[in-house]
Structure 1
């Protein structure tokens, strides 16, 4: 017997038994809900809320007056030179201290040549042995799909 048919038959029988028992037994009386005398619980807190903020909208609004715009004259540029030349001139006027002049006269070390390091060779992959697998017969074996 298929599973679906089993549940259909057994479920139908149980439903029929439920309807028969409902008609057989008398109905219970309906109980009216009586008003309950519940005690009143009032909770008072010791914390005080901040006072209410009241905005007075009866006063006229204050409008900002516009200020007279005074024109400011641009500063005059006597000699306009590019920024690069100004920086060079400022550095040229500085006097070198004794330490700085000795450092500038010292020979600059040449960087050592970088030797290339040998990288390890990759290993050859392990040899794979290809073997012929025997076919499986019929339903015998692990996987039949």
Structure 2
């Protein structure tokens, strides 16, 4: 039980030191000059130079003023004019009309044969796998020390 003996000796030494300090050092002075009935601290009052804006008073006793009713006229949307459209186009949906337009599209300048051919990229080289144990010897793993300081220098 060496720990129990340690605590007994160190605890006894600290207790003896505390009693010696209490005997040698003077007692703290008594607090005087507080004229309060209880031990409450005096109230702290903070004054500020900044003031809030004045209070806004809303008079709700008078009736509210309602805005006059505005008369609006309904206007029908104009119908698109399709003078040159055939009756077959009028029956088609918008998606079908767009598809038909792209089907009839002819590009103004055809691509030349030189730009139409894709460039063949060279085949990428792939690293070959090394054998696990070269020359029949077992591999040895070595641990490195961590680097401290500037420029990865060890000291």
Q: Same fold (TM over 0.5)?
A: no
> Normalising by the residue count of structure 1, what TM-score does the alignment of the two structures yield?
0.42
* TM-score normalised by structure 2 residue count: 0.40
Q: Which has the larger radius of gyration?
A: 1
